[in-house]
Structure formats: structure tokens, C-alpha cells
Amino acid sequence: MARTCLAVVLAAGDATRMKSSRSKVLHTVGNLPLIAHVTRTAAAAGVSKIALVVGRDAALVAETARSGHDVPVATVEQTERKGTGHAVLMAREIINEGFDDIVVLYGDAPLINPESLLAAISQRASGADIVVLGFRAADPTGYGRLIERDGELIAIREHKEASADERAIDFCNGGVITFSGTEAASLLEAIGNDNAKGEYYLTDIVEIARTRGLKCVAIEASEEDMMGCNTRAELAEIEAVWQARARHAAMLSGVSMIDPASVFLSHDTELGNDVTIEPNVWFGPGVSVGAAATIHAFTHLEGADIGPGAMIGPFARLRPGTELAAKTKVGNFCEIKKAKIGAGAKVNHLSYIGDAVVGAGANIGAGTITCNYDGQNKHVTEVGAGTFIGSNSSLVAPVRIGDGAYVGSGSVITLDVPDNALAIGRARQETKPGRAERLREKIAAIKALTKKA
């Protein structure tokens, strides 16, 4: 973008209808806070600076808004909520630093895309003084209506102020308004609050600009792109749109999903080519999956790096810090946390592997548990390459099982096992020939006695 652009992001609403103890814009879509979606989109469109208008949770909102991009973010506080026009004016000092374009965005509308912002800015470059992004609303109730004449926008009428004829218009203000940085302060200062809500409406800027002979236009975006969030029900609708888009993009990039609607992705989920995802899989933040891996049904993943060709689940849980090398297998009812599992190693049934390093080709038998926590500290378990851990073993950390070692089933391993050794840590079996018959007779005799009594 050759032009300089300031994005003013409004995030000071009181969000009463969310009924939440935290700021609305900290609620998430695709496991990323709404405000971060908006600021990252602004950054992707190439804005030069972001002015963030904040209310409650200011510090956390600002920190979140800064994450994931390197456009400078300046925050200004709006202590009293007096309307969108008033909110933008809070950023007056930053606006006056001098920008070609000012674009106003809402912190609670995360589906806006960089292309729409660039389309608005290109209209500005070709001579429009104010560009408003509008959409055709299935139900326009509550939105500001875009009133056009001869291809120009002549006013935005808020629902509460609109006449019956104006209310019949379905072309609505999506909230993204772009205007000249040099005119901005003087236009914003001319906004009054003589209206149904007693608020300073940013939308009045259009009629004010018209009286000064400025040209205003509206361009159309999709209703989905402009979705805003006032309630948790609307948040869920936005999530559904976001998820559908993310799944669609993943499938177009070479990922197979058998029942896409049941797969939940995060904003940073990375899926390689030929990955197959079965139904009901949850990707929390920080998951990457290498090519041709299969994620079987009902698997829960978070902070895990899965190598190519791995087979995960069904019913597996990978927690943060999991690193699985190529062609590993983690089967049903296994939980892995902060553990590196080497290439081709298998953890197939009912195991907990935490704070561990497992070598390539190791076979971890059913029900193996790394006892990593002593009630105060976490300790590491090392399992060498090519080891065989018998079923139902407890590996009491800190402990090291050497390369190529064998651990007998049912062992409790508290001491290091050298390379290629066999370790058995369980009570020795005793077998008493014929004793089963005598035991049965004894039990029967006791039963007869208790019946008589």
C-alpha cells in the first residue's frame, strides 16, 4: 500500500448483552480473540498504524491486539461510552499525525477480510472522500440504512431515526467507514448527539461531508463478512462461519475430512497434504500435522506437533509440548503431554506419557504410565530407542530405560535400566499344584455353615 493508512479499531463497547466479566473483544473465534482477528486483518491489508479505542480490560485488550503482526498499535481510552463518533474522536491525536486514509473497524466484527479493506482504500485513491462498506441484510432491523442517489451515498440513517420508507431499504452499514486523514478531525468534530439515543453517531459523517461538497460512496461486501457480535448466540454464529471457511480452505489445500462439520479448527492449525481427519476431532491452539498423517475420530489435540504419516486416535489426547516424529502411533485412550516420541514408536493403548523422551521404534505396552509427578515436582522419563515396555508398567521418574532394553509386564521401574537389559520389577509368581480344588471345598464349607446359622 503506497498510501498511509490508520486503522481506528473500536473496542470500548460495554457489551452488556454478552453478560460477561471480561471485555467482549477477548472472546474467541477459532481460539483467537476477536480483537486479534481484526488487528491482524488490518495488518494484512497493509495499514501503517492502528489506534485502538479501549474501555474495560484495556491492558489485556491492547496486548492481544498487538499479537501476531508488527504494525504499531497505540491505545486510547474511552471512559464514557457516548457513541461511535465519540469513540473515533478519542483517537484525534493519532489521527492528526497525518494519514492519507482513516479506516474505522469494529473490534467485535472479526470476519472482515483484507480484500474488502483494500477495495475501500482503492475507492478512496480514485477520488471518493468517504467509502462505506455495506451489505444486503436478510433482516435489516437495527442497522444503519445506506441511502444512495445517482450512485452516491447521501446519508446513513440509523434504524431508530429512519422513516418507514428508509426502513424498507435492505442495504446496511457494515461499520467499516474509510475517510480522508486530512478531513477527519474536522468532520468528526462536526458530529452532534441530537438523536434518538443521544449518542454521537459516526454515521452522521456522511451527511456532514455532503454539505461540504465531498463525495461519499458505498461498496458492497457479503453479510457474513460484516457479522458483528452482541450476544454469545451471535458469537457462536460467527464461529460457525469461521469454522466452515477454515475447513473449506483446509480441504482445498489437500486435507480430507470425512465429516467436516464435526471438525473444530483453530486459527493456527497447520495441516499437511493428504492428512485425513475423521469425525469429531478438536484442534486446540498450536497444532501442526505433517503430510499423510491420520487423525482418527474423537481425538483432542492442543499444542502438538505431529510428524508425517503418524496415526493418532481414536480417542487420543495430545496436550501441549507433544512432539511426535514421523510414523508414530498413539492409539485409543492415550494421553501424551510434554513428550517427544521418536520415529515409528508406538503408544497404542491406555497409556499416559508425560515429561518424557521416547526413542525411535520403541513399543510402549498397554497401560504404561510415566509417574512424572511426586506431588511437588515434575520429573523426566527417558525411554531409549527400540525398547519394549511390557503392559501395565509404571515408570517412576526420574528414570532412564536404555536403548534396546526390555521391561517385563506389570513392572514398577524405579531404577535406571542399562541398554539392552531386561528389567522385571514385580512380585515373583507362586504356583501351588492342586490347591484350587482344596480352596473350593473350603469356601463351600464356610458357605454351608453360614446358611445353617
155 binds, among Ca ion, ligand UD1, none (CB under 5 to 8 A by kind): none
Which position among 69, 159, 349, 379 bears the catalytic label? 349
CA distance 306 to 389: 22
Q: CB under 5 A: which stretch of 2-10, 28-36, 220-228, 355-363 binds Ca ion?
A: 220-228
- x-or-dash pattern for Ca ion, window 264-303, by CB under 5 A? ----------------------------------------
216 binds, among ligand UD1, Ca ion, none (CB under 5 to 8 A by kind): none
Q: CB under 5 A: which stretch of 19-27, 221-229, 296-304, 335-343 binds Ca ion?
A: 221-229
Q: Which is nearer to Ca ion, 228 or 331 (CB)?
A: 228
What is the three-class DSSP state of 161?
A: helix
Q: How far is the CB of 137 from ligand UD1 (least distance, A)?
A: 9
Question: Which residue type occupies 152?
Answer: E
Residue 74, beta-bridge partner list = 51
With CB under 5 A as the rule, give the number of residues binding Ca ion.
1
The answer to whether residues 267 and 284 touch, using CB atoms and an 8 Å cutoff, is: no
Q: Which is nearer to Ca ion, 202 or 405 (CB)?
A: 202
**Chain centroid to CA 30: how far?**
3
Q: Is the dihedral of CA 205, 210, 211, 213 positive or negative?
A: positive
Q: Which residue is nearest to Ca ion (CB)?
A: 228
325 binds, among Ca ion, ligand UD1, none (CB under 5 to 8 A by kind): none
* Angstrom distances, CA of residue 102 to CA of 77, 130, 177: 18, 10, 8
228 near Ca ion, rule: CB under 5 A: yes
DSSP E strand stretches across 209-255: 216-220
Q: How far is the CB of 10 from ligand UD1 (least distance, A)?
A: 4
Q: Which is nearer to ligand UD1, 227 or 255 (CB)?
A: 227
CA distance 34 to 25: 5
352 binds, among ligand UD1, Ca ion, none (CB under 5 to 8 A by kind): none
Q: At what angle do helices 34-44 and 114-125 cross, to 10 degrees?
A: 50
134 binds, among Ca ion, ligand UD1, none (CB under 5 to 8 A by kind): none
Q: Which residues bind ligand UD1 (CB under 6 A)?
A: 10-13, 53, 78, 81-84, 86-87, 106-108, 143-144, 156, 158, 172-175, 201-203, 228
Q: How far is the CB of 181 from ligand UD1 (least distance, A)?
A: 19
Q: How far is the CB of 211 from ligand UD1 (least distance, A)?
A: 18
Long-range Cβ pairs for the range 185-193 (8 Å, 24+): 185/92, 185/95, 185/96, 188/85, 188/88, 188/89, 188/92, 188/95, 189/89, 191/85, 191/86, 191/89, 193/82, 193/83, 193/86
342 binds, among ligand UD1, Ca ion, none (CB under 5 to 8 A by kind): none
CA distance 102 to 51: 10
Q: Which is nearer to Ca ion, 98 or 142 (CB)?
A: 142
CA distance 51 to 5: 11
Q: Which is nearer to ligand UD1, 218 or 310 (CB)?
A: 218
Q: Beta strands 145-149 and 73-77: pairing type?
A: unpaired
349 noted as active-site residue: yes
Q: Please give the backbone phi and psi of residue 259, each rounded to the nearest 5 degrees, phi first.
A: -135, 80
Q: How far is the CB of 5 from Ca ion (least distance, A)?
A: 23
The answer to whether residues 276 and 294 touch, using CB atoms and an 8 Å cutoff, is: yes
Q: Which is nearer to ligand UD1, 87 or 271 (CB)?
A: 87
Catalytic residue numbers read 349
Residues binding Ca ion (CB under 5 A): 228
